[in-house]
Amino acid sequence: MGFKQRIKAILQEKPCPKKIHRGALLAMVQKSLTPASRLHSRAHKKLSVHGYNHAQKFFRDAGRSVFSSLFAPIEIVYAHNHYPFMLESLGGVAANFDLASDFLTDMERRWYTTDFCSVHRTFISIAHHNLLPTPRFLLSTSLACDGNLKSFAEVGQFFGRPHLYINVPFGRDREARSYLARQLKDTSARIEEITGKRLRAGALEQAFHYANRTSSALREIAELRKNPNPLIYGEEGITSLLLLWGLFMGSRSGAVVAEFYRDELLKRSEAPSGKIDARKRILWLHLRPFYANSIMHILERELGAVVVVDECNLEVFPELDPGRPWESLAEKMVIHSWTGPVENRVRKIRRSIEEYHIDGVVHFSHWGCRQSNGAVRIIRDAVQELGIPFLDLDGDLVDSRNYADGQYRTRLEGFMEVMEGS
Ligand code: SF4
């Protein structure tokens, strides 16, 4: 029996799911992240090793484990000397092992609506299967995803642990920023209450120092990705860079890995052999599926339409200022393009089309994600106004049950023809 089948058998052990040892999930994370996994670049390898070490601490030092959401201000968690772990990433890990559909079937049996994003349903089911350590607390935000309020509350209830929620306002004005800054300050005070420990002097400065180094390297990476010849395939860039946002912002690992990535891309930009030939340059919006599929392979390797940049890694933030910590963290959150009206997102997309010399835009419309799909018509019109072909590719990020290779191939080949003819 292969590794995947063995893990699958353990997780599907019946009739008592409580027998499942949570080490099984760590083994999956290990297999997904360590050098034994399918690696693309040296930087990706480094990221995987840091990711695995982080997951180990999270699983083995449960007293300091925190469940967090993507774009939550995890700098605060690091400052309080705890380990944040992005729950959404578990959807990707489960999909990678072809297990997400089993967790989703479990949720369907329990009458959870299939309208709710499968990423959330997967990690709720994983929690219900006792595959996670009991966290100290949970930290999520409305930034980018309003589903967090429900799913994190439910997981928090399951473990009987507090859920700290940060409501990011719609606007960006002074009032909005101070409302958010107050919440961030209160969050830190709540963490002190929960842990019984005061925030150490200098701890926030240190977390900001690492976050600033990470953001600065990510800004340079975003610049390097403008290279006429892509330096990295989108298949790698979309997910690996996102891990830096979701797991490591505010930690030494974040700074080390982001700088390593930047240096590797810099070297590739200087060596003729390190570049990729692209017939067309693609801007990818939202994420890509995590289960075994050939979408990126067909698009990038067969058709030569390389994803030079993706929406989730395009955010550029100002430096965090330790002199005014809550205000500067609040500014970072309110200027995110997924905050406020869709025009913010559209503006960023239009600017990126120009800056990255984009030939075509693909929007992966994940079923159940209102944030990304709700705006697709407006985005399509804005992109097409610029004379750039747009493909709305719908599907699921983690549930492979409706995936059909042939359908995606036909749509991608048709899209390539449109780009070549335009
Ligand atoms: S895909 Fe959409 S709904 Fe699902 S976790 Fe991401 S932002 Fe939230």
Kindly report, residue by residue over 204-257, the tens digit of the pLDDT. 999 999 999 999 999 999 999 999 999 989 988 887 788 888 899 999 999 999
Mean pLDDT of 174-189: 97
**Is the Cβ–Cβ distance between 68 and 74 less than 8 Å?**
yes
Ligand 1 centre to CA of 369 (Å) is 5
Q: How confident is the model at residue 121 (pLDDT cuts 50, 70, 90)?
A: very high
Residue nearest to atom 8 of ligand 1 (CA): 145
Checking if the pLDDT of 419 tops 90, the result is: yes
Number of domains in the chain: 1
Give 336-383 pLDDT, tens digit per residue.
Answer: 999 999 999 999 999 999 999 999 999 999 999 988 888 999 999 999
The domain of 120 spans 3-421
Tracing tokens 């994983």 back to the chain, one arrives at: 126
Residue nearest to atom 1 of ligand 1 (CA): 369
Task: Kindly state if the Cβ of 369 falls inside 6 Å of ligand 1.
Answer: yes
Pocket test for ligand 1, best of 285, 372, 376, 399 (most atoms within 8 A of CB): 372
pTM of the model: 0.90
Residue nearest to atom 7 of ligand 1 (CA): 145
Residue of 269 and 3 predicted with greater confidence: 269
Ligand 1 atom closest to the Cα of residue 366 is 1
Task: Kindly state if the Cβ of 64 falls inside 6 Å of ligand 1.
Answer: no
Percentage above 90 pLDDT, the chain: 70
Mean pLDDT of 101-129: 92
135 vs 217: CA distance, rounded Å: 31
In the prediction, which pLDDT does 34 show?
46
Q: Count the Cβ atoms, other than its own, within 10 Å of residue 114.
A: 13
Q: How confident is the model at residue 25 (pLDDT cuts 50, 70, 90)?
A: low
Instruction: Give the tokens for residue 370.
Output: 């209102």
Ligand 1 centre to CA of 179 (Å) is 25
In the prediction, which pLDDT does 62 show?
78
Going by their DSSP bridges, the two strands 305-310 and 280-285 should be labelled as parallel
